Structures are given as C-alpha cells and as structure tokens.
A and B are shown apart, each in its own frame.
Chain A
Amino acid sequence: MLAADVRDGRAAAPLPRRGRGLVSWRMRRHAFAYAMMLPTFGLTALFTIYPLLNVLFHSFYSGSLFSLAHSFVGLANYVTLIQQGGIAALGTTAVYTIGFVISATVLGIACALLLNLPLRGTEAVRTTFIIPLVVPIVATAIVWTTLFNAYFGPVDAFLSFIGLPRIDWLGDPAMALTTVIMFSTWQYVGQNVILFIAALRAIPVEVREQALVDGARGWRNFWRITLPLITPSLVVVTVIGTITAMQAFTQIYIITQGGPIDATTTAAFYVYQQAFQFFNTGASDAMAAIIFAITLLLTLVQTRLLSRLGGGGIG
C-alpha cells in the first residue's frame, strides 16, 4: 500500500494502488496546474506544432504561393534543394552558426568575468550591454550598413586615417559573412553577459575561497572551478545561440540581402528566396524542414555534451 498523504497532522484517504484510479487521483491533485498550462499548450499546438507539421507535410508537395492546389512529388523538392544552392546555404549557415556561437559565448564569458570584479563603475558599464538587445534589429542593421560602407562609412574612414587599407566589409564575398557575424555578436552578447554574471554570482563564496586556499588561481581557477560551475548557463547560452543562428534572417535581409553572390545566403534566407522570389514553395518547405531537424539534433547533442562536461543537467 502506498504511503498516505498527511496534512495538518491528519492522514488523508489512502491512495489508490494502481490503474485508472491512480491516474484519476493524480489528475485531481494536479488539476489546477494542468488548467494553468492548458492555454500555453493550446497556443503552442496551434501556432508552433500545427504549422511545423504543415510544413513537413507540404515539403513533399509542389505548389504555389497563391494557389491551394498542390501535387505530391515525393522527395523532388529535396532534390531541387540539393541541385539549386541548398547545400551551399546549409554550409553558410554552419559557418555562421559556429562563428556566432563561439564569439558570442567567449565574449560573453570574458565580459561577465570582467564586469563581476568588485570595481567602481561596473554597474554602469553593465547597463550598456543591454542597449543592443532593446533596440529593434532592423534599425541597428540599417545603421551598421552605413557604418561599414566601404566608401563613406566611418569605420573605413578611421582605417584610412590610421594608415590601414580600406576593407569592403559588405561588398567583398570573403568579408561579408564575417561582418554579419560581428553584427549578430554585438547584438546578442549582452544577453549572454547577463546570464553569465548571474551564474558567476551564484557560485558559493566558500567554494571560491576554498579554491584560493588550495592554490587555484587565474586560468586554473577558471578552468577547474568556475567553468564547471557555470556549465548550466553555458548550455543555455549555446543552445539559444545555436537556435538563434540557425534562424538568422533579418540582419542578412537588411545588411547584405544574401549577397554578395550568395556569400551570406543562409538556410533561413534561402527559405525566403525560394518562397517569395522563385515561388517554389515546395523547396522552401523542404529547407524549413531541414532547418528544424538540424536545430533539434544540435540542441539535443549540445545539451547532453555540455551537461556531461559540467557533471549535471540544465539549471
């Protein structure tokens, strides 16, 4: 017999042993919680799960942006994707994702470590990291485009002033993706700084003091003590960063429109191109399905790997 529930010193009625009675009891006990979650489940089902299933379904059909009629074509859309630049777009996405996640994470940790020092003025400096997060990305991307213009942007003007050659940040296919990564890092690093500062402050004082007593300082202290203890936050940052990078569209649309010569055409931008420029909704859906599958796989792998490194789960 299961242990009875005790409240106010009085034993409640005994729990059902098994089966529908137990399920029914649990549902009654947690009914309030289920009721509170119902709208979220409903909205998620309606606005996330249903569209996702719809996209997966239509990735095996050919159709038009304006017509509801479509015909089954099997894997033809995926073949089209391979033949018409889809692989290149996925490759660009991989480079972009790796570059963005690494730079935003490393910079985030570095800034958090510095801002966590007990120095005067760090509070004010910390606030400035939030600014890119609250300004609309469209506005900042437009400004960035002007800043990095090769002929009349202030960045190249400064380079010329100090005797360095001009760089065509947005027009050189070899530089354009790097420039977009720099923009995205600048846009999102503030979020990572906030998360890492919170994680650093959550490290128990006695652990830090004990580490110092044992002689762990500098890099050793960071690698052996700090990093494992902030791993849960590291997992969150890399997972969110990966998902964000896989879906990158706005900054690319504003800054480079996928160019020059497809150098910044990521998978998400490819989805837009296929749907709204080529009117090829089948290939567009196929790429969207692939983005979902890759993002899901990466999220699961990252969570497992990083949690193992940190010796625990998320949070």
Chain B
Amino acid sequence: MAVSKRSSAVAVLGVASILTTALALGSGALAAPHHGAAANKVTITMWNTSTGPGLVALDKTVAEFNSTHPDIHVNNIFITQQDQILNKLSTALAVGQEPTVLVGDVPSNGPQELKSGKMVNLNAWAHKTVDKLIYPKQVAGCVYKGVQFCIPNGAGDYALYYNKTEFAQAGIKTPPTTWAQVVADGKKLTDPAKNRYGIYIPFGTTEWTVWTFEGMLWANGGQFLNRNNTKALFDSPAGVQALTVWYNCLYKDKVAPLTSFSTPQNSDGEQAFASGLVAMLIDGSWDLNTFDQAKVNYGVTYFPAMRQFATNTGQGSIDVFNTGAAQVKAAETFLQWYLQPSVQVPENAAVPGSMTNEPAVNNNPTFIKDQHKYMNVFFGDLKYAHIRPTLVSYPAISAALGQQIDEVLYNKETPAQALKIAAQEADQILKKNGE
C-alpha cells in the first residue's frame, strides 16, 4: 500500500515536471513575431537594423504612422546590426518566425534570401509606385533574375577624409585628387618615429576591404565581372595596378601603417584617423559625427581618381516577407506611405550623415539645410558611383577576394598572384551557382 501511494506521488511529480518543461519551451512562442488581424486592425512585425539617431527617428516615424492609420499597427523592433542580419533572418525563416517587413537589410543578401521562397515579389506594386521615387540604378541593384526582391532604402558611398592640421604642418595646400597625389602627400605626412602616417589601407577580410578595392578597380577603368556575370575580370591589368597602389603604400612608399584596425563593429579604421595616427582615411558619411566628436580638424574630398573618378555605393534595403495576405497588403500600405519624400525628409534630416536613395529627398532644401556641411561631397561623389553585382555568388566571391587582398597587404603574395587565385575561385563559385 505504502509503495502504491508513493508511486502515485512520484507519477504526479514526474508529470508535473514534464509539464513545467513543456511550458518553459512553449513560452518561447510568446516572444515570436506577432502577426495578427484582430477585428479591422492588422498587426505586422517590422524588424530594423537602425542604431543611434537613426533608430530614434525611425521609431518616431512608425509611431506617427500607427497614430494616423488605425487599421494597421506596425510593431517596430530593433533586431541586430546590419552586418549580423543574415544570422537572425536565416534562423527566423527556418522556423517560420520571420517579420513581415525588414528595414536595413542589404541587397547583396537578397539572392540567397530568395531561396527561402518567402520573399514577396515586389514587381507587381513597387514598380508602379515607390520605385519611381528612387534612383533607377539603385532599383536595378534590387532585381535578381527579373524579380525585384527589395526596395532600396539608405545609400552610402565613400570619400577621402584628410586632417587639415597635419596637411598645413606638412605644407600641403590642397587635398589630393588622384592616388599619385595621395602617395606624394603621404610621404610628406609620414614620420614613423612620431607614429604618423599618410593614409590607412583597409586590412581585413570583411566586405569593407573588397568594397573599397572595387572603387580602386573602377577608378582605374577595370571591371568586376563580365557583362553576363559568368566570369571574373578583376584580375585584369587594371585590377593588378589598383591593388599594387595599396601594396606600394605599405611596402615601397611606406606611407601607411602595417596593421589592421578592423573590428567586428567596423572595418574602416576610424580609430586610426581619430587618433591622429593617419592623416587620410577612406570612409563614409556615417563617421562625420565621430570625427566631430573627436574634435579632429578635418576636410572631405572625392575618392581619389586613377584614370577616372569612381566610388562604390552601398545601400540598405527593405524586404517584405509573406506572412499572410492581410499582412502583405498592410506592409504595402505602410511602405507606400513611408517612402514618400514628405516622410523621408524629416526622418533623414534628424540623422547626421544620412543619405537616401531618393533624389527628391537628397535635393530637398530642408534636408540639405539640416545636413552636415560635408554631405555635399558624398552626394557629389554619387555621380561617379558604381554598384556591386546582385548575385547569389557575390558574398562568397567577396569573401574569397577579401582573403586574397589580405594576403597581399600582409606581403604574402603579389597582387597579380592574389587576384588570379581570387578570380579562379570566383569563376568556380559562379559556375557552381549557375549564374
């Protein structure tokens, strides 16, 4: 009898512990994106990768939308930084917990994300509405095999920052406009004994290194891939000459420090410029505020030319995922409202260093008035901007090329060897992915 009562107690305890475990596991579902359609109100989840003033401005914009559209509620959530979005999104898509809208992705992720089958094809409505607000070349960057998978949102390019105080002390009156001048000025600015160098060359295997090298390549008249995107062309003489300029800055002319300032947070080497270690830096408008706060006396000029001016433009993007017909329709309504210049101007005017994809916004007097004094350089450089190819293969090609560029910068390979190896790997990747 005693044994029987004890068995019952044990059984109850065992069941209780299993239920507790199940409850703990199930509670995760409560934190999942909530897409709902309560009576006459559709709720959609929007992930964003904005930070700092950008996040504050976006929150304010979304709150305004929610207050003026009682039939739709946008649940705006900061999910992670832009360069970490793939990790979060891949997991969410695998378990069906993706958001309806993602603000702050990058177009180069799109061809991979399309494989999930959950991205909404935006051809039907974006093409007739919001695309007309955007620079055509940038819309083209959101199209893969005829499918528009995203809407460009947020632009960026890079230019050359220079330290005016260092330049004045070295007797240099004007900033360089070509890489030959960069090297010549660099020699006057470099004094290793005082820990002073002319320019920072971007070490590291991240996309930043490759993105910057692409600007060098185009500035020297080279091409990244052939017209059909079936073969790499960056190992051409133009590409080898471009990479040789960087190599010479490090080992022949010795105007650049031999170390990497790349971190997971950023790879552009802002610390090197802010600390005064280097007098010139390739960087984007996002660091204008950083150098203002560091009280650096700096100027900005176009990315130096080789045979021609060129730069690279990166952009953010907005994706829409199919989480239900009502949610997709609500997302369409939100985005058509959100991308209007009347909304984009005040939102971007509140974010230092912000660049948009819409000419009506970039040329708006209110937007320009509130912008940093050097933003005109970044806007002006846009006319020389190229875009990266939008391919499934691009991330892998970039990783392979980045590794080879790093081998050159660490003096382990010659530019010609490195680019040849990278091009061969790129061709294999393109073939494997059937581009």
Give residues in A with beta carbon < 8 Å to B.
28, 31-32, 34-36, 38-39, 42-43, 46, 64-69, 142, 145, 149-152, 168, 170-171, 173, 253-254, 257-262, 273, 276-280
Contact = CB atoms under 8 A, between A and B. Distances in A.
18 contacts: A28-B3, A28-B7, A31-B11, A32-B6, A35-B10, A35-B14, A66-B89, A66-B113, A67-B117, A145-B263, A152-B275, A152-B277, A254-B264, A259-B260, A260-B260, A261-B406, A277-B395, A279-B112
A257 B395 contact: no
A267 B17 CA distance: 38
Contact of A32 (B13, B25, B275): B13
B395 A278 contact: yes
Given A36-B17, A276-B86, A279-B395, A67 B116 contact: yes
B24 to A, nearest CB: 9
Interface string B235-254: 00000000000000000000
Contacts of B172: none
Given A35-B14, A277-B399, A279-B395, A173 B277 contact: no
Contact of B396 (A39, A46, A277): A277
Contacts of A260: 203, 260, 406, 410
Contacts of A68: 94
B112 to A, nearest CB: 5
B410 A35 contact: no
B47 to A, nearest CB: 16
A151 B256 CA distance: 12
Interface string B188-213: 00000001000000011110000000
Contacts of B277: 151-152
A259 B204 contact: yes
B66 interface: no
B77 to A, nearest CB: 20
B88 to A, nearest CB: 11
B260 A273 contact: no
A257 B115 contact: no
Contacts, number: 109
Given A35-B17, A39-B20, A258-B205, A273 B399 contact: yes
Nearest to A151: B277
B18 interface: yes
B287 interface: no
Contacts of B3: 28
Given A35-B13, A173-B410, A277-B396, A259 B275 contact: no
A278 B396 contact: yes
A69 B115 CA distance: 9
Contacts of A276: 86-87
Contacts of A145: 263
A172 B60 CA distance: 46
A139 to B, nearest CB: 13
A66 to B, nearest CB: 4
Given A260-B203, A261-B407, A32 B18 contact: no
A149 B395 CA distance: 29
Contacts of A259: 203-205, 260, 262, 406
Contacts of B25: 46
Interface string B54-93: 0000000000000000000000000000000011011001
B32 interface: no
Interface in B1-57: 3, 6-7, 10-11, 13-14, 17-18, 20-21, 25
Contacts of B90: 65-66
B391 to A, nearest CB: 12
B333 interface: no
Contact of B206 (A151, A257, A262): A257
Contacts of B259: 149-151, 168, 170-171
Most buried by B among A68, A142, A279: A279
B412 A261 contact: yes
Nearest to A277: B399
Contacts of B204: 257, 259
B220 interface: no
A261 B257 CA distance: 17
Interface string B85-108: 011011001100000000000000
Contacts of B275: 151-152
A273 B111 CA distance: 18
A151 B257 contact: yes
A39 B399 contact: no
B258 interface: yes
B301 interface: no
A189 B250 CA distance: 39
Contacts of B323: none
A39 B262 contact: no
Contact of B258 (A65, A168, A254, A258): A168
A259 B262 CA distance: 10
B403 interface: yes
B426 to A, nearest CB: 12
Contacts of A261: 403, 406-407, 410, 412
